[in-house]
């Protein structure tokens, strides 16, 4: 059984992995045998994160198309292959609808959706010759459940779930699977404002059947499964990891 989930010999890039969910997923991939490359913009936090799990630090901004493409190409040149891409870098912006600025909407879409599309495309080009690839997009329960103030985020994540399906439909025959993980409420820096809001935390605890915020490590099993041979026939799936939030009223 452990062979089925082993990632020995696999080379994985995780974007947005200096902290939070990206770091937790990178750690889980490394612990299961993958050679891991972690990405983010801030080099100090990224180096420390990489060192702590024996990964390579690869700083770049995923919204820079040329640099992102060169970074992917560089991995293949240094490591010989790219097997797994975790499209995870993401940002949040909260405002009442009538106060949203166009630039803020575009900025969230650029990181959370457009960059994911380009990374998927450019990674798939590098995976095609090997007839093997695993692309896993970090979606969200907010792709299907609306919430006030986070308009660009909800639009981007809904788009990313859709992109997961269209790419899966096309790439499956080439040995490349494209799936998404949809986390519920995880205690990370992205949610600092919400975690510090006592009323909101009470709401999360009452609203989520699990009765609490999730910890980032709780995504590890999902990402290892989708990246492994165990998920060879799982394609275009959105794996929800939300403590039951999205199936309950
Ligand atoms: N936390 C949750 O409850 C939750 C729920 C559902 C979905 N998600 C999704 O999970 C993903 C990770 O969220 P998180 O909570 O772990 O957030 P986080 O703690 O804020 O971490 C975000 C990571 O992305 C990096 N990043 C941001 N912009 C980037 C860019 N342009 N290029 C490269 N790296 C960039 C950050 O580092 P730098 O700032 O140094 O670049 C950091 O490493 C996001 O896609 C988010 O939407 C989170």
Cβ distance 3 to 195 under 8 Å? Answer: no
Instruction: For residue 1, report the distance from its CA to the centre of ligand 1, in Å.
Output: 32
**CA–CA gap between residue 57 and residue 40 (Å, rounded):** 8
Question: Which neighbouring-strand residues pair with 135?
Answer: 85, 178
Instruction: For residue 205, report the distance from its CA to the centre of ligand 1, in Å.
Output: 23
Residue 74: predicted pLDDT: 98
Residue 131: predicted pLDDT: 98
Residue 2: predicted pLDDT: 80
Burial class of residue 155 in the structure, from the number of CB atoms within 10 Å of its CB (0-12 exposed, 13-18 middle, 19+ buried): middle
List the domain boundaries for the chain: 2-244
Ligand 1 nearest-atom number relative to CA 49: 43
Look at residues 78, 65, 12 and name the one whose alpha carbon lies nearest to residue 39.
12
Instruction: For residue 23, report the distance from its CA to the centre of ligand 1, in Å.
Output: 10
How far are the Cα atoms of 85, 123, 133 from residue 117, in angstroms, in the given order?
Answer: 12, 10, 16
User: Does ligand 1 have an atom closer than 6 angstroms to the CB of 19?
Assistant: yes
Per CATH, is 2-244 categorized as 3.40.50.300?
no
**CA–CA gap between residue 70 and residue 125 (Å, rounded):** 13
Which residue's C-alpha comes closest to atom 30 of ligand 1? 61
Q: Rounded to two decimals, what is the model's pTM?
A: 0.98
User: Does ligand 1 have an atom closer than 6 angstroms to the CB of 63?
Assistant: yes
Question: Which neighbouring-strand residues pair with 37?
Answer: 13, 56
Residue 207: predicted pLDDT: 95
Residue 1: predicted pLDDT: 55
Ligand 1 nearest-atom number relative to CA 139: 7
User: Does ligand 1 have an atom closer than 6 angstroms to the CB of 213?
Assistant: no
**CA–CA gap between residue 225 and residue 213 (Å, rounded):** 22
Cβ distance 33 to 41 under 8 Å? Answer: no
153 a catalytic residue: yes
Average pLDDT per consecutive 10 residues, the chain (249 residues; last block may be shorter):
91 98 98 98 98 98 98 98 98 98 98 98 98 98 96 98 98 98 96 93 96 98 98 98 97
């Amino acid at each position: 059984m452990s062979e089925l989930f082993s990632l020995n010999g696999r080379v994985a890039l995780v974007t947005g992995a200096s902290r939070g969910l990206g770091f937790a997923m990178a750690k889980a991939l490394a612990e299961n045998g993958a050679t891991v490359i972690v990405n983010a913009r801030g080099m100090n936090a990224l180096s420390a994160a990489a060192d702590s799990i024996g990964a390579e630090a690869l700083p770049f901004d995923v919204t820079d198309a040329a640099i992102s493409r060169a970074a992917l190409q560089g991995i293949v040149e240094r490591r010989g292959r790219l097997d797994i891409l975790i499209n995870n870098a993401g940002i949040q912006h909260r405002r009442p609808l009538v106060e949203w600025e166009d630039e803020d909407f575009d900025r969230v879409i650029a990181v959370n959706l457009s960059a994911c599309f380009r990374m998927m495309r450019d990674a798939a080009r590098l995976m095609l010759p090997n007839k093997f690839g695993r692309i896993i997009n970090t979606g969200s329960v907010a792709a299907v459940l609306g919430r006030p103030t986070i308009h660009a985020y909800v639009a981007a994540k809904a788009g990313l779930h859709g992109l997961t399906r269209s790419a899966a439909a096309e790439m499956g025959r080439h040995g490349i699977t494209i799936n998404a993980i949809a986390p519920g409420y995880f205690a990370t820096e992205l949610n600092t404002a919400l975690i510090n809001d006592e009323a909101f935390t009470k709401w999360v605890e009452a609203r989520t059947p699990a009765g609490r915020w999730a910890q980032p490590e709780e995504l590890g099993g999902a990402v290892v499964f989708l990246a492994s041979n165990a998920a060879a026939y799982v394609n275009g799936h959105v794996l929800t990891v939300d403590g039951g939030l999205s199936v309950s009223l």
